[in-house]
Structure formats: structure tokens, C-alpha cells
Amino acid sequence: MTFTFPLLLGGLLLIGIPVALHLLLRQKPKTVLFPAFRFLVKRHRTNLTKLRLRHILLMAMRVLLLAAIVLALAQPKVKDNPWSLPSDQAVAAVFIFDTSASMEYTVAANQSRLKDAQKRAVEMLKLLPENSEVVILDSADSLPIGKGDWLQRDKAAERIGQLTLHSANATVSARVAAALDLLTRIAVTKDDSQRGQRARVVCIFSDRTVASWDVRERKSLQELANHVLPTFDRLSSVYSGISEQEKLLAELPQRLATVIQSFPVEGLTGALQNLKERLPSLRAEDYPDKGTQPLLAAVRGKQQELLAILEQQSKSVPENAKEYHTKLTTALQTSLRNSAGFTAFYVDVGVEQPRDGALTDFQLLLESPVNGNSEAQFKLRADIQATGEDFRSTLACDATASPHDVTLDVKAGKREHVHFDLDKSKLKLGHHQVKVIATPGDQLPINNARYLTFAFRNVLVLADSPSDVQVQTWARAIEANHFGAARYRCEIKTPTSLGEKAPGMFNKYAAVFLCALKEPDDKLWNALADYAGKGGGIGVIPPAQESNKDRYNGKAAQEVLPATLDKIVDAKAPGVDWGWKGDIYKHPLLHPFQEWRLGKWDFVEYPRAATLYWQTEPRKEQVQVLVRYADAINHPALVEQVVEKKRGRAGRVLLFTTLPGWPIWNNYLENSFYVALVGRTIGYLSGDDDRPALNFISDQSVPRVPMPISGQAMAYKLYRDGAAPPAPFVAAVNVEEGQNEARIPQAAEPGNYTLRAGDTDPVAWFSVNLPPEESDLTKVPKMEIEAVLGPDAVLTIEGRTDLKEVMRGHVSRPVELMPILMLVLLVLLALENLLANKFYRRETQQV
């Protein structure tokens, strides 16, 4: 309750006057002799009680009369829904807008969801009381919120009008976390702005799609929300609700025994008790204080926990406990509303039954041949899903593929896929960019196209004899692997065929393998050292003869290699397996083995073993033994050296101690262990397994594109949907000296991108696509959102022309009590007169 003239409440002291008069001027009875006394004796007790009651009644009437006069003059107002949007006092509000791609969904009159959200937000602004301040948050932003972000309503309306869709977007729930953090801070801030004392409001404008709200953050969001302190005037209602909750919780073990099994009720009753003891001692001038926040947060946390359990078990509540269940749920919800530090509205501008055909995936596949005669076939696969209704779509692919376009029917709620065959003979080394488009268009055009960049990358395999079976097998195993859209083509060369060895000669290769070279010279080692220093990946299979070890232990070789070679150890048949110890899986190269070993893979059932291996002496700095043999001394099996760089990806050198696939040395080739080892090695050394190098999702992570290693800073131009003009120019991109990758935040919209240095051919290719989940227009359950924002926070807009209609019952309007008090005053006055006349009418005549 608030008062227009609170100082007048001092007049309540006047109510002491009738009490004092009653006590001081108590009527002295007149004495009368009366012979017929006997007739009075019978009923005098009842009569005396009635007399006293009348006097007290009259006094109470006069006290009430005075109190009503004073209260009426002070002009009290009450709020009809204290937890709703205030309409009379300025508020501190945070408006959060979902600007993700799904908000492009358009209904009649080209009204996108974002446009609708903007319109609703302006309507909401009008509902806010005068002098309210608003912060506008965009789900695409991740910038911290500063004091300058508080805007008056007119400025806020301008800012809302400037909002646009962003394909690179984060979840709305992430921005809610930022808003709650902001509200927590202002709730404990005492400054001239008085934001801390104002009612706080959070308004979210979103289509409520699953991609917009991360349900896994529920717990952390609840904790954040619980730390926003309520305004002081809400504490009285929090306090008054505690007794009822304590009473209900005392009955919980008898009424709902199943709840007790998963919820220790003592925790909540204890927290309520602590709060009950603290609240009466709080004074407005000391609030907010540090002690109350953890107590309130503890109570709210446990209330939410219990509420969640009650909701889960609501269907299995026994018939005789249903009333109790409802009572407890209502009491908890009311308490949570009262103790909330903010009022939240999630304005759902989404469409209840959306219709959309969406391309959700586009990828390159290498399909194994059905029979052994033909070669593996490259195919492009496009996935399309229908939402809301059946779709007939034509998918057109711009690659040299057959067929060029495919028409297919997709049932509502189903996902179908289409294959486009690629002619392997026409696939050259290097990068390729393709696009698939679904026609006709629909109400959400942004997900009607999908982009793909794939590359055939060169891997150099150096061997003394390229025709060796082991070398050929190694190369084929490399080519069989792919990471993301990167595929490999191996060049098998001898050291001599390389010609003059110079720094930079290996820059074009994704990785370089030395396959048991007998006599690598220092020039080769120097060129390799330069390559590793620029972030290249080198795999070294040691020589098969001890006599060649000097070439590996020389100074130039040791600039590259992580260890010296001592001697060849004969482990005798059946040989030794790797020592599969827990900590080896921490390394990214070996990490997948942990999962594989849990499965029934053949190399787990039948472990591979090395009978011959080099005894090595790892150097100490920047060297790590990744895995050791399970022999008596635990000789190193794989040794790695990381060549750190100031910027960009570090170089990696991996030294095998046995010759993988050489039958005398080990039996690795006899099962899938060999392929797995080669796959992990090429992925790790090329860097393709730890980053989607060519295809990116337009979330908030910035595309990091592999670049040719350059000794100087370079300026590039970024184009979309085409390698050169007339393709649209997007931005200029600068890559600093020594960088082997570029961060390109400008590439936010879906499309195929290329980077060119001047008029030369493109040097980098990549694609950006929408996150597939952005095309999932399924709604997040209201319960998930209301668990964080409070009961009834979600407001559905669809079909409503005016937000006011939706907000009916959610806006707290002050109810003027003066007219009611004036009526009460009149009634009291009449009653007082009536009673006084009735009691004293004849006394004046007779006494």
C-alpha cells in the first residue's frame, strides 16, 4: 500500500483521544433508591456486560472513525497484483530481443517475427510508467552492459527500431543471464539513479524456439534469478507467507511420502526459519543488506527444487492428497512471486503452428563401392525437413553433379535427404565450394539454402622407395580419412625428387610424412624445421636399420625430432602392446581411443603388438611422450614435439618408434588399429580434427580459416558466393605476419566465402551455415521458461492485435482507496451517531 500524503498518517495518533476520554471520563453512575430492587437483581449481570460492550463498541467506532479520516486524507493506494508490471512508479526494465534467424519467419503483410517483436516492445514501452529506464539487449550481442545503456523510453523505442536479424546469434537464455546479473548489481546499488529502489522488469521478445533457450542452463539461471533481491516493500508479503508454508511442510511427510524420498524438507524449513528470524529486524534504510540475499536465495532455491518435484509427481498424487498438493504448490508459487527480485514477461511472438521447409545439412560423403570392382564414389548429401505441413521441394545443386536438381516430397515432421553424385575425375586438388537451394521459397527463407566447402589437401609422403607396399598402404590409409570437409591426396616422393631443398618448400602440404628414410640430409631437416616452425605437421617413421640412426641424431635432425634414436629393441613374439593407461587419453591424438576401447573394437579384443621398436631418448623441452609400450621399462612408443608459435597454430612433430605396417616390426596392419592410428595421425598433424576448418556454423564463434603460411602481414578481400568479382565483396581482412589462420568475424551470414589477396587466386575458402537447430521451430515448454522467470511469465501473442489485451491482469494498477474510505467514513459516522444516540439519548433528559 502506498500513500499520496504519507506524512498525514501522523494523524493516526488522534485515535488515542477517544481511548483516553473513555478511560478518563468514564461515566459515574447516578445513585437512585429503588424499592422494587428485587426485580432488578435477576438480570443485572447480563445487563452490565452489555453496558460495557456498548461503551467499548462506541469507543472502537470513534477510533475507527478517526483512523478512517486520517487514512482517507493520506489517500492510500494498493496494487491489485503486486508482482505484476507496476503502472504508477518508474521501473528499471531490461528488454531482451531474439534476433536469431528463426525470427525471420514471416506471416501476412511481410511481418517477420522480429518486426512483430519490435511492435510489441514499443507497446510494452507505452505500458511502462513515466521516467522508467530501459536497457535493450540483443541476443546477437555479447557486450557487457554499462551505465550508458540505460535509456529513457523514447530513446529505447529508437534503439528497438534499429534491431536487425543476425545469423550469428547466441541463445536468449544467455542474454537473460546477463540481464539477471545486471539486476543483481543494481538491486544492491545505492546511487542517485534510484534504480535499486525501483521495481525491476525483464521483458523477453522471442519466438520461443528450442534453439533460443538452453534448457540446460535452467539451474544456473535460477541461481542468478534467486540472487536478485526483491524491493523492500515486497518483504512483508514474503514474511507473511512463511507461516502457511511451515504449516504445510509439517504435513508433507504424512501427505506425500514419495516427495520426502527425494527432497529433504528440513532444509527448506530451516531456511524459512532463518528468513523468518531475520526479516522483522530489517529496516528500509539498511536494505539491501548482505545477510538477506543468501537467505532469500537459499529459500528460493529449495522452493524451486520442491516445486519441480511436485510438478513431476503431480500425476501420481493420491486422490486424498490432491488438495494438499494444490495448496502446497500454490503457496510455493506465491512465495516465489513475492520474493522475486524482478517481474518477467516472456512475450512469445512465435507462430503456434509454423510451416517451413528447411535444409538442415549439406555434406560430402565418400561411399564405399557395393562390389570390389569399382572405386569409392563421392556424393553430396542434402537433408531437408518439413515442419507444419507436407512440402514438395526442388533441390538444386550448383556443383558439377548429377542430377542437378531433385524434386521430392517431405511429410510434415519428417526429414528426407537427397544425394548428388560427384564425378571423381573432375575433382581437382584444392578447394571446392557448392550450394544447394530449395525452391519454392517459404515463410522462413533463410534456411532454404545450404553451403559447403570441401578441399582435397596435399599430403607429402617421403620414402626412399615410393613403390614399397608399406609406403603405398600408408598413403592409401591417409586418403581414406577425412575431417570435416577436408580430404587428402598423397604425393609419394623420394628426397632426391624434391630437388633443391629450401625453407617454405613444404608450405603447400597439410602434413609431411617421412617413411623410414635411410639418409635424410640436413637440408631436408632444415626445410622441415622451417615447416614445423610455421605450424606444419610432420610425422616421422624411423629407419629400419640401426646404422641409419646418426642421420636422425644429428644437430639439424634434432631441431625437428623430439628424441634421439638409441637402438632397436627386440621384444620377441608376441611383442608388446601400448600401455593403455588413463592419462594417455588426455592428449587430443589419443582421446578418441578411450571411447573406442570401451566398445567392442577388434583391436581391443585382439590387441596389436610391436616386436621391434627403437629405444629412444626424448629431449626434455617441449617434448611429450604420448604413449609407452607395456614392456618392463616402458619404452616410449609415440613421442611428440610441439613447436610453439606466437600466433596461430603450433607446429607438431610426431615420432613413431616402430614402423607401422611393416610386418617384421609389428602386426598393426592386421586389424583396424592401423587405420585408426593413421587417421588420428593425419587429423592431428594437419590440424583438421580440432577445428572445422572449412565449414562454420553462424553461431557466435568466429570462423577461423586456415591460411597459407606467410612471412609477412597480408591484406585480403573477403567475397561471398563466388571466388571473384562480381561476387559480393564483404570486407577486407588483414592477416598478421606468421599467422597460419585468420579470424573472420565479418563472415556472419550464411554463404560460401573466399579470401583473395589482390587479383590472385583465392587463398582460403570456407562456408558459413545456419545452425541446424535454428530451423527447428518446436517451442520450448513454457514450464522451462517459467521455472526461471516465474509462474505465468510466458505471454502468447499470436492472433492478438494489441499487447494490452495480453497484458490484462499482468499490469498492477493502483487502486485508489479514498472513495472506499469515504464510504466507510460515512458508514462509521452514521453508526457512531446511531450508537451514541441510542446509548445516551435519555440521559440528558433525566440525569
| Interface with other proteins, residue 476, by CB under 8 A | no
Which stretch in 26-34, 106-114, 698-706, 820-828 sits in contact with other proteins by CB under 8 A?
26-34
Q: How far is 516 from 538, CA to CA, in rounded Å?
A: 13
**Identity of the residue, 28 or 600, whose beta carbon is nearer to other proteins in the bound complex:** 28
**Identity of the residue, 35 or 799, whose beta carbon is nearer to other proteins in the bound complex:** 35
Q: Which amino acid is at 256?
A: L
Smallest separation, CB 834 to other proteins (Å): 14
User: In the set 35, 144, 148, 499, which binds other proteins (CB under 8 A)?
Assistant: 35
DSSP one-letter string for 38-51: HHHHTTHHHHHHHH
451 CB neighbour count, 10 Å cutoff = 24
**Identity of the residue, 41 or 573, whose beta carbon is nearer to other proteins in the bound complex:** 41
| Interface with other proteins, residue 30, by CB under 8 A | yes
Q: Residues for the chain: how many in total?
A: 847
DSSP one-letter string for 246-301: HHHHHHHHHH-HHHHHH--HHHHHHHHHHHHHHGGG--GGG-S-TTHHHHHHHHHH
Which stretch in 39-47, 435-443, 568-576, 796-804 sits in contact with other proteins by CB under 8 A?
39-47
User: In the set 38, 216, 555, 808, which binds other proteins (CB under 8 A)?
Assistant: 38
Smallest separation, CB 837 to other proteins (Å): 12
| Interface with other proteins, residue 841, by CB under 8 A | yes
Which stretch in 49-57, 311-319, 466-474, 631-639 sits in contact with other proteins by CB under 8 A?
49-57
| Interface with other proteins, residue 24, by CB under 8 A | no
Q: How far is 109 from 355, CA to CA, in rounded Å?
A: 16
Which stretch in 23-31, 253-261, 297-305, 438-446 sits in contact with other proteins by CB under 8 A?
23-31
Q: For 204-244, what is the HEC assignment?
A: EEECCEHHHCCHHHHHHHHHHHHCCCCCHHHHHHHHHHHHH
The neighbouring-strand residues paired with 718 are 731, 755
| Interface with other proteins, residue 48, by CB under 8 A | yes
Listed residue (660, 654, 366, 379) closest to 487, CA to CA: 366
| Interface with other proteins, residue 34, by CB under 8 A | yes
**Identity of the residue, 38 or 808, whose beta carbon is nearer to other proteins in the bound complex:** 38
| Interface with other proteins, residue 833, by CB under 8 A | no
Smallest separation, CB 836 to other proteins (Å): 12
Q: How far is 787 from 679, CA to CA, in rounded Å?
A: 46
| Interface with other proteins, residue 845, by CB under 8 A | yes
| Interface with other proteins, residue 54, by CB under 8 A | yes
Q: How far is 369 from 479, CA to CA, in rounded Å?
A: 16
Residue 280 CA: distances (Å) to CA of 87, 235, 289, 701: 28, 9, 14, 49
Which stretch in 307-315, 370-378, 577-585, 836-844 sits in contact with other proteins by CB under 8 A?
836-844
Number of residues that bind other proteins (CB under 8 A): 31
Map the footprint of other proteins across residues 64-93, applying CB under 8 A.
Answer: none
Q: For 72-95, what is the HEC assignment?
A: HHHCEEEECCCCCEECCCCEEEEE
**Identity of the residue, 43 or 426, whose beta carbon is nearer to other proteins in the bound complex:** 43
| Interface with other proteins, residue 44, by CB under 8 A | yes
| Interface with other proteins, residue 21, by CB under 8 A | no
Listed residue (207, 190, 140) closest to 168, CA to CA: 140
Listed residue (781, 761, 665) closest to 717, CA to CA: 761
**Identity of the residue, 29 or 582, whose beta carbon is nearer to other proteins in the bound complex:** 29
CA torsion, points 242, 248, 253, 255, in degrees to nearest 10?
-160
User: In the set 5, 6, 43, 519, which binds other proteins (CB under 8 A)?
Assistant: 43
Asked if 183 contacts 118 with a C-beta cutoff of 8 angstroms, the reply is no
Smallest separation, CB 842 to other proteins (Å): 3
| Interface with other proteins, residue 842, by CB under 8 A | yes
Give the containing element (helix H, strand E) for 624. strand 623-628
| Interface with other proteins, residue 50, by CB under 8 A | yes
Asked if 448 contacts 436 with a C-beta cutoff of 8 angstroms, the reply is no
| Interface with other proteins, residue 330, by CB under 8 A | no
| Interface with other proteins, residue 216, by CB under 8 A | no
User: In the set 1, 12, 14, 51, which binds other proteins (CB under 8 A)?
Assistant: 51
User: In the set 10, 19, 21, 27, which binds other proteins (CB under 8 A)?
Assistant: 27
Cα of first residue to Cα of last residue in the chain, in angstroms, is 48
User: In the set 7, 20, 24, 39, which binds other proteins (CB under 8 A)?
Assistant: 39
Tell me which residues touch other proteins (CB under 8 A). 27-44, 47-48, 50-51, 54, 839-843, 845-847
